[in-house]
Amino acid sequence: MKLLSSYDLGPLALPNRVIMAPMTRNRAAGDSGTVPTDMMATYYTQRASAGLIITEATQVTPRGQGYPNTPGIHSEAQIAAWRRITDAVHEADGRIFSQLWHVGRISHPSYHDGAKPVAPSAIAADGEAMTASFEMEPFPTPHALSTDEVREVVQQYRHGAVSAKEAGFDGVEIHAANGYLIDQFIQSGTNKRTDIYGGALEDRLRFLREVTEAVLQVWDADRVGVRLSPGGTFNDMHDDDPIQTFGRTGEVLSEYDLAYLHTVETELPTGETASALMRDAYDGTHIICGGYERDSGEEALQANRTDLVAYARLFLANPDLPERFAQDAPLNEWDESTFYGGDAEGYIDYPTLEEAEEQKAAA
């Protein structure tokens, strides 16, 4: 089956097209709860048979944090901890990208010594933030970044890219999806700026361009991906014309000859899917993610709607997912209560197919 066929992703020879999607798991610890742990090394190494692992979203600056116990990629302690993880994954013959993240307005002053979160415009998201103490409180009105402050954030992404290289990653993915900072600049509902970073579509895309170009000062283009969620409404997002906005975004990203575009699957107002829009707009390798299973992922590949398929919850619950796909074997069920935070339960205790069969035989 095509899902299990090899694929050349720039300099990386992927043994299959089954990608491990980025998934926030809230298991970091140490300084401010942002340092990767040995348990995280076990978690990623267990899943090293993926064609490519894309890590959980990893903040490039302390001001980019918006959830408790999410890892950073900006301090020496974080870099050293991630290095242990990348070394372990590589020893298991895996490949791993770091997803570079800044949550923007989807945060709370409890993470920032009382300071407001930052955003393109002073527009609060509808809903509640998870505070540093795991309490739920309404999203505050964020601080609108000045023009100079926007440029400082661009350099924070560059620093995150440098840190990821020092940590031994094979590449990086720029997180521009799901209502976080870059997405907030792109979409008209959250960007009401009147400077060079707002207004016309080309100006709303300027921040994405500058972040991408800053990361490309550090990494070769064939080791950099970008994730988008066209038409997505998560985190109170909306755009006046998502077809035009994200179609143009795909065209802009095509200019950089990146490793890939990673599209979160949604249905657009026209009834078209996000993946179809971006397949047409983006000239390069395409990853799709969003509720795909073995057969639906294979069908998407056979129909040439994508080149690679990313799996989240299925990979969470099945560390040997490519092998299970190969054998069309039963899949472990995930435990949603353990998704965010906790200990080894629901994190590194899901059995492989071989372990499950041994457990069954011993019962």
For residues 98 and 57, what is the distance between their CA atoms, to the nearest angstrom? 8
- Residues of 130-153 as b/e, b for ≥16 C-beta within 10 angstroms? bbbeeeeeebeebbbbeeeebeeb
- Is 350 one of the annotated active-site residues of the chain? no
Residue 33 makes CB contacts below 8 A (sequence gap 6+) with 68, 69, 70, 132
For residues 65 and 112, what is the distance between their CA atoms, to the nearest angstrom? 9
- By three-state DSSP, how is residue 158 classified? helix
Q: Is 346 left (phi over 0), alpha (psi -120 to 50) or beta?
A: left
Would you tell me how many other CB atoms lie within 10 Å of the CB of residue 75? 16
Name the residue among 352, 259, 342 with its Cα closest to residue 19.
259
For residues 253 and 227, what is the distance between their CA atoms, to the nearest angstrom? 11
| Token pair listed for 313 | 């919850």
Which residue out of 157, 180, 282, 292 is catalytically annotated? 180
Q: Any idea which residues carry the catalytic annotation?
A: 180
